[in-house]
Amino acid sequence: MPAWLNRFKMPRPIFAICIYYLITNLGYFSLIPILTIVLTTVKGFSLPEVATAMFTLSLAFRSGHFFTGPFVDSTNVKTCLVIGVFLTGLSFWTMAYVNTLPLLIACIILAGCGHSTNALASKSFVSNFGGKDGNSLIYFSTINVFVNAAAAVGSLLGSYLLASKLTSHIFQIVAAFYVVAGVIVLLMLQQAKNFERSLKRVEFWNGYRKVLSDQGYLKFLSFNFVGWFCYTQMFTALPYFASIRYGMDDKLGLLYMLNALMIILLQLPVSVYMNKLLPQGKETHQFFFAYLLFSLAFLIAGVYQSFIVLFLIIILFTLAEMLFTPLVDTMVCNYTKAGLNTTYFSVLGISKALGEGFGSYFGLRLLGFWVQRNQYSWFWLSLAVLVWVASLSLWLTVRSKCVPK
């Protein structure tokens, strides 16, 4: 193992997972920030159809965990990752050739199944690995850094393709990244037998019944829902807003590059600082810090209307993301019980799907409502009010510890 991996406490299997995340997310972030624009301007879908497609994408990419969880439980990590990336890549490639909403949704659902298989296998492996050596938060934060390194490059690539009128090839390019990731997994990932979870006979409904009876975990999922509702606005409503309000499609890559660079530079220091700042049992407060930053971004977007202000909004979004995303996976590690690791992450994926799906659909429809009335600022102000109401409701109804006893 290279010396620098030891210095950063990154064992070889974790490094292999990080590289996998890097390659797949290069493709993912080349497409997602401009997908609403590609579907409307290139493929000719209407805004309500795009809203439906984006809702389906969020739902399929997250709730697919529910159906793929038993498969992941009974198959080793390497096989799951390879099958998942090839299925996702094939689905994205097919999207280039469909022009009707039903076929587009079918491709999205297949891509979601592949993506869900990847996410469950990798997170379950990292959770099990980190649970044994005590470095879960560091591993998940490091993965977030790799993801955002990919986002920095991917968003620039997507913006370049959009500005260069090459968006007709974007789906094939994304598919190629997933295929490359599959090859890399085959070459790099060696089974770490001391940390690999034991394969077991699948108990589908019994496992979900046990997880859904965990009242503390269900309270935690409500926090997860609100966070992903806010987060998804950065990749659905924001790019469409910037396109129709300012006509600066080719500048979107700069916004997402800023987001990614901040996470690359600051994610680990922020995670370490928050870990020291908040004592055991007070992790819920970190969610409220994130909600405050999200709502502040929405408020500023509604009060100050200019493309330059969008950079300040991205800064606030990014700070909220750094507080929110690693904490979610880390807290799931605290909740999981023996033999139910993957099932807990499956249910988390459903909660995330509902948050992102409802956020993307509701956000785009709400944006369309205010655009028709030429009241762009009210879209952001409406979102700010929604976040304040949701945060207050959570604070009042979940005042006890949202962590396992």
Residue 399: pLDDT band (50, 70, 90) is: low
3-state helix, strand, coil in the chain (%, to 5): 80, 0, 20
Residues 355, 226: contact at Cβ < 8 Å? Answer: yes
Among 34-38, 107-111, 162-166, 394-398, name the most confident range.
Answer: 107-111
Task: Compute the distance between CA of residue 342 and CA of residue 337 in angstroms, rounded to an integer.
Answer: 10
Residues 66, 350: contact at Cβ < 8 Å? Answer: yes
Task: Compute the distance between CA of residue 150 and CA of residue 92 in angstroms, rounded to an integer.
Answer: 18
Tokens of 276: 């020291």
Tokens of 249: 């499609």
Residue 234: pLDDT band (50, 70, 90) is: confident
Average pLDDT, the chain: 79
pLDDT tens by residue, 38-72: 888 888 888 888 888 888 887 787 666 666 766 66
pLDDT tens by residue, 346-391: 788 788 878 888 888 888 888 888 888 888 888 889 999 988 988 8
More confident residue, 90 or 329: 90
Strand residues in 55-147 grouped as ranges (E): none
Q: Has residue 91 got a pLDDT over 90?
A: yes
Q: Has residue 394 got a pLDDT over 60?
A: yes
Residues 115, 64: contact at Cβ < 8 Å? Answer: yes
Q: Has residue 252 got a pLDDT over 70?
A: yes
Task: Compute the distance between CA of residue 304 and CA of residue 87 in angstroms, rounded to an integer.
Answer: 43
Instruction: Provide the 10 A C-beta neighbour count for residue 405.
Output: 5
Distance of CA 154 to the CA centre of its chain: 15
pLDDT tens by residue, 323-355: 888 788 777 777 777 667 677 877 887 888 788
Per-residue confidence (pLDDT) for residue 90, from 0 to 100: 93
Per-residue confidence (pLDDT) for residue 282, from 0 to 100: 67
Task: Compute the distance between CA of residue 321 and CA of residue 274 in angstroms, rounded to an integer.
Answer: 13
| pTM (2 d.p.) | 0.67
Residues 370, 376: contact at Cβ < 8 Å? Answer: yes
Sign of CA dihedral 169, 174, 178, 180: positive
337 contact partners, CB below 8 Å, separation of at least 6: 210, 344
Per-residue confidence (pLDDT) for residue 94, from 0 to 100: 92
Per-residue confidence (pLDDT) for residue 391, from 0 to 100: 83
**DSSP symbols for 247-295:** --GGGHHHHHHHHHHHHHHHHHHHHHHHHHHSPTT-THHHHHHHHHHHH
Per-residue confidence (pLDDT) for residue 315, from 0 to 100: 93
Task: Compute the distance between CA of residue 258 and CA of residue 167 in angstroms, rounded to an integer.
Answer: 22
**Residue type at 70?**
P
Residue 194: pLDDT band (50, 70, 90) is: very low
Q: Identify the residue whose tokens are 């439906």.
A: 52
For the chain, list the domains and their CATH numbers: 11-397 (1.20.1250.20)
Mean pLDDT confidence for 5-20? 71
Length of the chain: 405
Element counts in the chain: helices (H) and strands (E): 16, 0
More confident residue, 189 or 122: 122
pLDDT tens by residue, 274-329: 777 766 666 677 888 889 999 999 999 888 877 788 889 899 999 999 888 878 87
Cα dihedral: 312, 313, 317, 319 (round 10): 20
Distance of CA 303 to the CA centre of its chain: 28
What DSSP character marks residue 96?
Answer: T
Per-residue confidence (pLDDT) for residue 372, from 0 to 100: 85
**DSSP symbols for 305-344:** -STTHHHHHHHHHHHHHHHHHHHHHHHHHHH--TT-HHHH
Cα dihedral: 223, 224, 230, 234 (round 10): 160
**Residue type at 266?**
L
Q: Has residue 86 got a pLDDT over 80?
A: yes
Mean pLDDT confidence for 387-402? 73
Tokens of 285: 């407060």
Per-residue confidence (pLDDT) for residue 133, from 0 to 100: 66
